[in-house]
Structure 1
């Protein structure tokens, strides 16, 4: 796979998809915006899987909400600085599958655009974020299972520490990509 891979603009490809890029806002583990641009990009292979997942969600009367997709490596460095725990954040020296364009962070919404309860928030770096944690109430567990089924049906796999993270099964075999947009410097603070 060539380094020059053209990432797909998810917002343009799926104009009705709900997107709330958390790292373009202060609503994330760093407490400040990381992305200078709210661009939601994916590798073409992941875009194909996302299209299938969107169709499956629609069949169930649900919608996907995207929290993150492609992530510049400089953003990954900031997340590692904020949470240097390899259970939740991949060391930038290894490289995140987000930085390959092969991973996406999502949740589910109902037909009225209400987020489904997942029992833990996005970027909640705690064992409650693990997909099958016993402290998560049954309805939230069912919502997580539904999200897993939808994303699996699309062609993604989950990970053991974050209910919201999905990636292509061979995600790590794709090359790390050069940064496609700029990030705020690590010392940036919100007003």
Structure 2
């Protein structure tokens, strides 16, 4: 007959074994995804009329594949930034235009993927469109890629202006012929936005907001975008006509890493 002490040891051993199995299971090991602070909102909850064409959840970006941390085609921003965009949108709608966002809050894990990609000098599959005249080894030195991005603080977005009614943007198919991002609008990847002289995420000095080579209608369109947003407290990054940050930022020194997904934001 088993002694009480022996039986107790057996129960303890069995419990320890079950605990070990539980700790080794993927479910137990997976850390819960971080959530956005309550100051963050989905842009659509503030303004449903702003067009969202979120590029980094698609393969049509300078990496050529969907980017880490983008789970849904969703623009997430701090509430002050989203409300400022809403005010800008009201003025544009009265003139027959709409804002269109390409990217908003960006998780740190996405930035980390950009860094890894930039260090892989053999991966140049999207070079012909996004950085045709820049050697990939220069991406860090020339400032196109960095270890931190203002997007991760939640008040920076990449955007453009679209004439209404908005035509649909054709889908990108991996492997299709690539055209330089600074080619004439009729030749480069189709986009329903106003002609800004280059496409979005064009790694070229022609994308500098006030590059003197950009004149006429293209320059006027850039100034239209810039003045519209500056009137609502946004500051443009001079090297990228599409890049704006709302000031003052609620989180000027914090780089977040929650995923771009509805469940990251309160109320979703």
TM-score range, shorter chain: 0.7 to 0.9
Aligned equivalent of 2:140, options 70, 84, 92: 84
Extract structure 1 runs of 4+ deviating beyond 4 A: none
Asked whether the 8 Å contact 2:78–2:250 carries over to 1, the reply is no
Asked whether the 8 Å contact 1:56–1:153 carries over to 2, the reply is no
Residue in structure 1 matched with residue 87 of structure 2 by the alignment? 52
Distance 2:144 2:98 in 1: 25
Asked whether the 8 Å contact 2:76–2:260 carries over to 1, the reply is no
Paired residues for 1:1-191 under 5 Å: 4-34=37-67, 35-80=70-115, 81-82=117-118, 83-85=139-141, 87-89=143-145, 91-92=146-147, 95-113=148-166, 114-171=192-249, 174-181=252-259
1:177 to partner: Cα distance: 4.1
Paired positions, count: 178
Q: Structure 2 length normalisation: TM-score?
A: 0.61
1:76 to partner: Cα distance: 1.2
Distance 1:86-1:14 versus aligned 2 partners, 3 A rule: farther
Asked whether the 8 Å contact 1:29–1:79 carries over to 2, the reply is no
1:45 to partner: Cα distance: 1.5
The CA RMSD over aligned residues, in Å, is 2.1
1:96 to partner: Cα distance: 1.5
Select between 45-54 and 115-124 the one with higher mean Cα deviation.
45-54
Asked whether the 8 Å contact 1:87–1:161 carries over to 2, the reply is no
